[in-house]
Structure 1
Amino acid sequence: MTTAITDQEPDTSSNPDFTKSEAYYSVVNIKLGDHSLLYSGEVDCCLNGSKSQSDYVELKTNEYVNKNDKGKYDKFVRNKLFKWWVQSYLLGVPIIKAGSHDDGILKYVETYDTISELPEMFNEYNRSTKACVDFCDKFLTSVKSVIGKDDKNVYIFQRKRDAKEITYRFEEEGTTDQSEIFVHDEYKQEIAETSKKARTESVCLIL
């Protein structure tokens, strides 16, 4: 996994007057099986103002759940905590700090290690992080086999609630709602021009 950040320095000031619209993003390039993925995600904070990915921290809050209440705590681990792990795993965030509150009052803060602690913990609750990653790998393989090298039309994949299968629909170029398109023509054109320029520069270097 390789990462880049969208700012040279994270904001380490203690000024409480912050703007919610501002965010600190990490750009991640990972290999998942035979797939190369490039995406970005928001990073909540870094330990001691560090820029190292190993010091990234995800912040969460949750209504207090008594660990002695097996039913509620099992549900919390299997559903909410597992989703927190997925989000952190995708960005390579090693630490989750979760504050539990009761009637708006913070009761305690718990720290979770996403690399070793949580995967082992999920095994006790019939949740497998490996199965989750393997599913993503198989899904991306299926997407590639369906789409191929078609970069003009739109394929919409979806899984309905409680359904076991993922379905997709195909929409020809020009017939798709623009809100469903996330790779726009302007972006594809810019990438193509950048690639062409890179190839030209490489030729010049060889000559």
Structure 2
Amino acid sequence: MKSTYIPVPPSSSSFPSFKRPSILGSYGQNEQREWIEDPSSYLKTFDARNWFRQSLNKKPLDLNRGKVILKDENHSAREGITSLLEWLRRNPQTNCPDFVLFRGVLTMLMKTPYERREPWCYSVVKYRDTIYLKAEETEYARNQKDRVSPFIQKTMEWGYKFEHILSQTSDSNMDNVINTNEEYDSVYRTELEGMAIIYGAEMDAIFKSQKPEVNVEDFVEFKTSKEFQNDRNYQNFVKYKVLKWWCQSFLVGITTIVCGFRDDDGFVRRIEDFSVRDIPKLEGVTWKPNVCMGFLKNLLKTLKNDIILTPNIVYNVSFDPPGSNINTYETDLDISHVLPSWYTENTTKS
């Protein structure tokens, strides 16, 4: 098995050309993870004026209320990129993209120059001049999942609960059952240094508005974080957490992230909004946006021009920190591991 190694060099290059992302369409998934063509019932609304005038010191948000049903990550892994492929099957593109993948993959790739702990692995295949990337579960991720403590499980539920609460009015029923299998997904298109990319992303909510159409800047991202108790908490926040936040939001044109700062009992007494544009300017931030985007550009260009050359061959592309190389090799996997037959048969006929 021949392997090719791509170095992960430090970069101080200028910010690459990145076209403002546009929304091609949307779809949803219900509580059974069935594909839904009209996702409007899953699109949440955030009334910023209502929530930012609340006095949470007197009446904090209790993220323990209600029940949260977390999605089965094993099932999600088996889904691969099929939900996005279903949208593409129903909405064939006149201009063939260079890459099709999920936003989460782009986020992981962008963080790579600063990643010291979490590995990643993708199955990659070129089909009809488009390169598709599907995430694979790493041993690190499996171990992390097996070792999830009850408290960590609870913090995950709190994150979903915060999103649910803020997409309602303050006097709404906060004891509802939240099923995280339900989601609203947008499909985006952009260009990075001339490479056309189509990607899907699960979206949290839109700002309350009277406009009939949904634009890129209408979306808002919800996050939770532990309230800072010391300087170390803050340094970890700006070094690791907001790096991921910035990558996720920048990729889809989100301008505002709303964060609920919680204590260890699941109570939020402070809500703060972050301008995505200003996140890299926060005190203590050491990572650089041009390094993240420059690395993403270089990696995708290398995959497109030098690695993923043979159509219908599934490649493995992986990174295992703290190493400084990305490993790629051809596998014996059938193309159906990434692209189901119903997709390839349909696109062949079109």
TM range (shorter): 0.7 to 0.9
| 1:173 Cα offset (Å) | 5.1
| SS in structure 2 of the partner of residue 140 of structure 1 | helix
| CA deviation vs aligned residue, 1:45-83 (integer Å, no higher than 9, x gap) | 0000562221201111111124xx332211111101111
Instruction: Please give the residue correspondences for 1:188-207 in structure 2 after superposition, counting only pairs within 5 Å.
Output: 188-194=344-350
The aligned amino acid for 1:97 is V
| CA deviation vs aligned residue, 1:108-167 (integer Å, no higher than 9, x gap) | 1111111x2113237x5211011101100000011112112x221111100112111100
Distance 2:318 2:181 in 1: 30
1:105 correspondence with 2:267: yes
| SS in structure 2 of the partner of residue 151 of structure 1 | coil
Say how many residue pairs are matched: 185
Distance 1:173 1:20 in 2: 31
Instruction: Please give the residue correspondences for 1:40-79 in structure 2 after superposition, counting only pairs within 5 Å.
Output: 40-48=200-208, 51-66=214-229, 69-79=230-240
TM value normalised by structure 2: 0.49
User: Which residue of 2 is the match for residue 200 of structure 1?
Assistant: none
Instruction: Please give the residue correspondences for 1:148-187 in structure 2 after superposition, counting only pairs within 5 Å.
Output: 148=309, 150-172=310-332, 174=334, 181-187=337-343
1:94 correspondence with 2:255: yes
Distance 2:348 2:254 in 1: 32
Instruction: Please give the residue correspondences for 1:13-32 in structure 2 after superposition, counting only pairs within 5 Å.
Output: 14=168, 17=176, 19-32=179-192
1:146 correspondence with 2:307: yes
Give yes or no for contact 1:64–1:107 (8 Å, CA) kept in 2.
no
TM value normalised by structure 1: 0.79
1:35 correspondence with 2:56: no
| 1:172 Cα offset (Å) | 3.4
1:83 correspondence with 2:244: yes
- Which segments of 5 or more consecutive residues in structure 2 lack a partner in the other structure? 1-20, 28-37, 46-166
Give yes or no for contact 2:22–2:216 (8 Å, CA) kept in 1.
no
Give yes or no for contact 1:58–1:95 (8 Å, CA) kept in 2.
yes
**Alignment RMSD, CA only?**
2.3
1:2 correspondence with 2:22: yes
User: Which residue of 2 is the match for residue 117 of structure 1?
Assistant: 278
Distance 1:100 1:79 in 2: 16
Distance 2:275 2:205 in 1: 15
Distance 1:137 1:28 in 2: 17
User: Which residue of 1 is the match for residue 112 of structure 2?
Assistant: none
More relative contact order in 1 or in 2 (CA 8 Å, sep 6+)? 2
| CA deviation vs aligned residue, 1:171-192 (integer Å, no higher than 9, x gap) | 1354x8x6xx322333123223
